[in-house]
Chain A
C-alpha cells in the first residue's frame, strides 16, 4: 500500500516537474513549484519522515511560493525565450540523468535493514537517545545534540543567506521611503478592501502563530522544532502583511527587531555552546548545563531550538520585506 502511494506521488512529481519546465508563464511555474513541494512533503510523510515533511510543506510550499510571487511582482510574467545552447544543455541533462540512473543500481533497496546507512551510527542513536537525552523524538535528539555542530552550521547558512539577500535587494529604491509614502503606494495597502479574506485571515493568524509555538516547544515529543516553527510563525506574520499591508506589518514587527532576531537567534545557539565550555564541558556539550546530564541535554536542546526558530523566523520575514519593499523595475 505504501509502495502504491509512493509510486502515485512520484509519478505526479515527475509530471509536475515536466510541466514546470515546459510552461512559459512564470506565474504558472511558481504555482506548480508550490504543488511540487506539497507532493514532496506528502512523499516524505509516506516515508515516515514527518519532521522533513513539515519543513517542506511550511517552507517549500508556503513561504517560497510567497517569495517567488514577490519576486514575480517585480519582473515580467513571461519567460524570455532562449534558443541558443539548447542542445548543449539537453546533452548535459541526458548525461547527468544516465549517470544518476546508473548510480541507483548500486543503491540498497528502500527500507533494507542491511543498508549501510542503517548499520553505521543510526542504531547507536536509536539505542542511546532514551538513556542519554530522554526524549521520544530521536530526530530532534540527533539534530539538536548528537549533530549539534551540523545544525549550528545550517543556522549560519540561513543567517548568511539572509544577509546576502538583504545586500542584493536593499538598494536605494523603495527601501528608504518614509512610512507615509509607503502607505500611499498601492502595494502597501494589502487586501484592505477585501472583507472576507481579511476577516478570515484575522481569525486564523493567532491560531497559526499558536501552532508555530506548539511546533517549537513540542519538537522533543512530536515532529517539529525550530526550523518548522520559525517558518510557520513567519507565515502567520506574512499573512498579516498580505492582508493589512506591508507597512502595517512593519509597524508590528519593525526591521530592527527582525535584524535582532536574525542575529540574536544565531548568537543564542553559539552562547549555549560557549556556556558548555565555561561550565567545564566541550563546545555544544549540554550535559554540563544542569546538575543532571539528561536534564542538561533537554535544556540545551530546548534553547538551541529556540535560537533556530528565532533566526529562521527573522530571516524569512527580512527576505519577504526586502522583496516587498522594492518598486517594480
Chain B
C-alpha cells in the first residue's frame, strides 16, 4: 500500500516537473507575448496541482497535507488571475495578438 502511494506520488511529481519544463521551454521559445504567457501559465496551474498533490501523498494524513491543500487553493486562485491581469493589461496597452515575430521584442 505504502509503495503504491509512493509510486503514485512520484508519477505526479514527475508529471508536474515535466509541465514546469514544458512551461519554461514555451516561455522561452514561443513566438509572441500571448503564446509565451500561455506556456508560463501552464506552470502555475497544471504543474502546481500535480506537484502539490504529489507532495501531499508523501505527507499523508497530517497537518502538512492540509497546509499544502490551502497553498494549492491559494495558487489556483491567484495564478490564473495574475495571468488574466497580465494578458488584459497587455491587450489594453495595445499589444495585438498575432503571429508577427516583431511582437516578441515588445515583451
Contacts and interface: CB of A to CB of B under 8 A. Distances in A.
Interface of A: 191, 194, 196-197, 200-201, 203-204
Contacts, number: 17
Interface string B66-85: 00000000100110010011
B99 interface: no
Contacts of B77: 200, 203-204
Interface of A is mostly: helix
Contacts of A194: 85, 88
B74 to A, nearest CB: 8
Interface of B: 74, 77-78, 81, 84-85, 88
B21 to A, nearest CB: 16
A191 B88 CA distance: 11
Contacts of A201: 81
B78 A200 contact: yes
A195 B78 CA distance: 14
A142 B2 CA distance: 42
17 contacts: A191-B85, A194-B85, A194-B88, A196-B81, A196-B84, A196-B85, A197-B81, A197-B84, A197-B85, A200-B77, A200-B78, A200-B81, A201-B81, A203-B77, A204-B74, A204-B77, A204-B78
Contacts of B88: 194
Contacts of B84: 196-197
A204 B76 CA distance: 12
Interface core residue of B77, B81, B84, B85 (most chain A CB under 10 Å): B81
Contacts of A204: 74, 77-78
Nearest to A203: B77
Nearest to B81: A200
Contacts of B85: 191, 194, 196-197
A52 to B, nearest CB: 20
B33 to A, nearest CB: 14
Given A194-B88, A197-B85, A200-B77, 14 more contacts: A191-B85, A194-B85, A196-B81, A196-B84, A196-B85, A197-B81, A197-B84, A200-B78, A200-B81, A201-B81, A203-B77, A204-B74, A204-B77, A204-B78
